[in-house]
Amino acid sequence: MASEINTNAPVTLINSFEVPEDRLADAVRSWEQARDFLKEQPGYITTRLHQSLSPQAKFQLVNIALWESPDAYQAAIQKLGKSGIVAEFKGIDFHAALYTVIREDE
Amino acid sequence: MASEINTNAPVTLINSFEVPEDRLADAVRSWEQARDFLKEQPGYITTRLHQSLSPQAKFQLVNIALWESPDAYQAAIQKLGKSGIVAEFKGIDFHAALYTVIREDE
């Protein structure tokens, strides 16, 4: 299990979006604006936006990003919040959390 | 957007688990058994199990795996279902879907 949280180790942000079909293009545009803002912030490593192959999936979009530390991510997200970009995700539920890898192939 | 589904291209499986705190160790053990079964199946590429840093996160565990194609994944999952391993995830809600990457850093 992930016992103590190492506030200096890289972390994985996983953000699952519940997107109504008619809001998909809006959500991707808003994601692009947020990415362009966040990738300039200290501690940003990389990000990938995934789209579900099935229109029935609960989460049509899932963002998976790497950050140098939980603190770097939290600072960047607070700045993003003040930038007003996130406003365009209104009406789109998302579940964002930071993760650490605890098991792999072996 | 991901228009047509290329049934031969690699896909990303993202599976988000809602795990009651007292079932976390069980869920990881069941995940390990499922992984040991699935990694022997044709088309398996790699997998990583992520645990949330926060106990309040909706999804305490998120599995992210790569498969050579949707068909390879579906075939492997059907065999897993017949193997009886999945039974041990009873009482643990999970949201599994296949994804393709539609945006990255640029």
Write down the ipTM of this complex.
0.91
Instruction: Say which residues have a Cβ less than 8 Å from residue B55's Cβ, sequence separation at least 6.
Output: B21
Q: Report residue B106's pLDDT band, with 50, 70 and 90 as the boundaries.
A: confident
Token pair listed for B80: 């897993």
**How many Å apart are CA B42 and CA A45, to the nearest integer?**
32
In Å, how far from its chain's centre is CA A20? 18
**Both tokens assigned to B95:** 């949201």
Residue A70 with chain B: CB contacts under 8 Å: 53
- Report whether pLDDT(B3) > 60: no
Q: Residue B75, by phi and psi: left (phi above 0), alpha (psi -120 to 50) or beta?
A: alpha
**Which residue would you say has higher pLDDT here, A89 or B39?**
B39
Measured between CA atoms, the residue of chain A closest to residue B5 is A53
Q: Between the CA atoms of B69, B70, B75 and B79, what dihedral angle is there, to the nearest 10 degrees?
A: 110
Return the DSSP state at B91. Answer: T
pLDDT top residue among B34 and B83: B34
Q: Give the C-alpha distances (Å, rounded to integers) separating A40 from A74, A75, B11, B106.
A: 14, 12, 29, 12
- Partners of A63 in beta bridges: A15, A49
Calpha distance B80→B11 (Å, rounded)? 18
CB-CB neighbors (< 8 A) of A46 in chain B: 104-105
What confidence tier does B68 reach under pLDDT thresholds 50, 70, 90? Answer: very high
Residue B2 pLDDT greater than 60, yes or no: no
Cβ neighbours of residue A106 closer than 8 Å, sequence gap 6 or more: none
Q: Which residues contact A73 (CB under 8 A, 6 or more apart)?
A: A11, A13, A43, A67, A98
By C-alpha distance, the chain B residue nearest A48 is B104
**Percent residues over pLDDT 90 in chain B:** 77
B29-58 mean pLDDT: 96
Nearest to B49 among A46, A53, A102 (CB): A102
The predicted structure's pLDDT at residue A66: 98
The answer to whether the CB atoms of B50 and A24 lie below 8 A apart is no
Identify the segments of chain A with pLDDT beneath 70.
1-8, 86-88
